[in-house]
Amino acid sequence: MKAIILAASRGASLDPFTRTRPKPMITVSGRYLLENSIDLLKAAGVTDYQLIVGHQREKIMSFFQQGAEHGVNISYILQEDPHGIGAALAEARNTVLPGEYFLLVYGDILTRGNIFIQTLQSFHSCRAPVAAICLTPSAELYGNVYLDEQMRITRIIEKPQTGGLGNYVLAGVFVLPSQFFEILDRAGNDMEQALALLVKDPGLSASIWEDDWIDMVHPWDILRGNHIIMEPWDAAFISCEAQLRGDVKIEGPVYVAPGVVIESGSVLRGPCYVGPNTYVGNNVLIRKYTSIGRDCVIGYGVELKNCVMFGHSRVGRLSFIGDSVIGEHVNIGSGTMTVNANLEDKTVQVLVGGVLQDSGFKKLGAFIGDHVQIGASNTLPAGLCIEAGEYLPHNTSISLRGGR
């Protein structure tokens, strides 16, 4: 069975990070979302993929190419002008033979465990269309699913705006028949309507996923995803090609990749990840749920707490970066502090796409896009988003709304 993976969306609600990459190329625990999905699909026995790409497609195509280095076969379908999930899927109609079933995978989901194996097992049990479903605390953001006693889906409501939410939501993994493209035609490429027609005839069974699942919607979801991946880690791994110079303290499940150099006096508390060729200076404290990407430089006396650094970035000496996400090629000057809480003990508000949103987090720092330059001695307020390419001078007063 082949998989069709939807990877064309930009995902504006994930700004500032999706301005410069597709959503599936968000990095969590040192790996891309799409990389994680492809490895899980391969483990499920699926090695033939059609990737539908659009926004910043060259980042996907240059990394995965034709899939040989990953042991899979990848072909690409270009969606020039994205108009929703249904229109994206319609681009792949000629890749599925009559009578075939295929896996449809949303490229921006992340799970703990292999959701694809379970979904395929459900399909083989019933030999009928299947949708993976799961529980989530934010049911209003997804297609809500209603079931009968035989675990068949009876109704799907896309992103309900009022009460009456269902217990389960669509998890972004389906096994569908080739006839679904005909249904999609009848629905005018509207995915919601097409699924509603499929529910009526021939029917759609549910495969319940009970482990952790997340669909990346907002910047702070990157931190949630990082927790999902790291939570089950139970052992440390230190590459024989890494250098721990002098008195370096390792506590818990710490992953240190090849080429890493860690200077004396540093403390690493797992679960945490240090990517290839990263340099960690003297007396650095790396706390739980921190992921540092490849080719980073962490200066003397820096403290990193529950943060994700995509890679190729520098943090100057005596800085604190907490509960934050840092894009690629970011330079953070010495003595920079991310404030990660409000004095009023309220949840942190984040300005995303010009709209102030409640993150639901009481501890949340900054979200810094690619190629940002931050001068020394800056204090970044809780929930600050800095767009890609921005320049902040030394010792600058910054407001949540980006004013200086």
Per-residue model confidence (pLDDT) at position 136: 80
Q: Is the confidence at residue 353, as pLDDT, over 80? A: no
Q: Comparing 354 with 387, which gets the higher pLDDT?
A: 387
Rounded Cα distance between 98 and 83, Å, is 25
Rounded Cα distance between 184 and 172, Å, is 17
Same domain, 334 and 247: yes
Same domain, 176 and 241: no
Same domain, 106 and 142: yes
Q: Comparing 302 with 352, which gets the higher pLDDT?
A: 302
Q: Which domain holds residue 160?
A: 3-217
Q: Is the confidence at residue 190, as pLDDT, over 50? A: yes
Least confident of 115-129, 130-144, 235-249: 130-144
Structural domain includes residue 321: yes
Per-residue model confidence (pLDDT) at position 189: 95
State the pLDDT confidence band at 341, using cuts at 50, 70 and 90. very high
Structural domain includes residue 110: yes
67 class by beta-carbon count within 10 Å (0-12 exposed, 13-18 middle, 19+ buried): middle
For residue 251, the domain's CATH number is: 2.160.10.10
State the pLDDT confidence band at 159, using cuts at 50, 70 and 90. low
314 class by beta-carbon count within 10 Å (0-12 exposed, 13-18 middle, 19+ buried): middle
226 class by beta-carbon count within 10 Å (0-12 exposed, 13-18 middle, 19+ buried): buried
Domain count, the chain: 2
State the pLDDT confidence band at 403, using cuts at 50, 70 and 90. very low
* Ranges of H-type helices in 179-278: 180-186, 191-200, 221-230
Mean pLDDT across 79-87: 85
Mean pLDDT of the chain: 93
Farthest CA pair distance, the chain:
68
Per-residue model confidence (pLDDT) at position 144: 81
Structural domain includes residue 276: yes
Q: Is the confidence at residue 132, as pLDDT, over 80? A: yes
Q: Is the confidence at residue 329, as pLDDT, over 60? A: yes
- Strand order across the beta sheet in which 320-322 lies: 249-251, 267-269, 285-286, 303-305, 320-322, 337-338, 379-380
Same domain, 10 and 120: yes
- Convert the pLDDT of each residue in 269-320 to its tens digit: 999 999 999 999 999 999 999 999 999 999 999 999 999 999 999 999 999 9
- Contact between 81 and 55 under an 8 Å Cβ cutoff? The reply is no
Structural domain includes residue 222: no
